[in-house]
Amino acid sequence: MKKNNIIQEKSYQFAIKIVTLYKNLVENQEFTLSRQLLKAGTSIGANIEEAQGSYSKKEFLAKLSIAYKEARETKFWLRLLRDTNYISINEANLLLEECEELLRIVGSIQKSIKQQLRKE
């Protein structure tokens, strides 16, 4: 599959922001929600990276599907942290916009791969 693509870079940069947010939350004594966010938010990029090493389109699609689900979970944790005042509305909204962008890109790639698989 493709290497050095936009989704790899965007998911990696997003993971960096999630790690930074996690560190800030832990410094302020929030451990439970921040840990969930850290796991889900960094898993997006990890699964996209794993997908790059796939041996088939089906495996590629499976890894992307996991990345998509992790992005959905990340969206949930960001909204929860925002709505419980652990993070500012502005900070949350910026991260939520990036998360939505990842969801759109991954969703589009999934759709394309599914169409290719149907043609085979």
Domain harbouring 106, CATH code:
1.20.1440.60
Average pLDDT of the chain to the nearest whole number: 95
Q: Which domain holds residue 78?
A: 6-119
In this model, does residue 65 exceed pLDDT 90? Answer: yes
Q: Round to whole Å and give the CA distance between 17 and 118.
A: 37
Q: For residue 102, how many other CB atoms are within 10 A of its CB? A: 24
**pLDDT score, position 4:** 61
Residue with tokens 């004594």: 29
Question: Is residue 17 situated within a structural domain?
Answer: yes
Tell me what pLDDT residue 22 has.
Answer: 98
Q: Is residue 73 part of a domain?
A: yes
In a domain, 99, yes or no: yes
How many separate domains does the chain show? 1
Mean pLDDT in residue range 13-29: 97
**Residue 51 falls within a domain, yes or no?**
yes
Q: Is residue 107 part of a domain?
A: yes
| Residue 25 token pair | 């939350």
Whether 22 is in a domain gets the answer yes
Residue 100: both structure tokens together: 């939505």
Whether 92 and 82 have beta carbons less than 8 Å apart is answered as yes
Whether 21 maps to a domain, the answer reads yes
1 domain-assigned: no
**pLDDT confidence of 74, banded at 50, 70, 90?**
very high
Which among 44, 36, 35 is positioned nearest to 15, based on CA atoms?
44
The interaxial angle of helices 6-27 and 89-119, nearest 10 deg, is 150
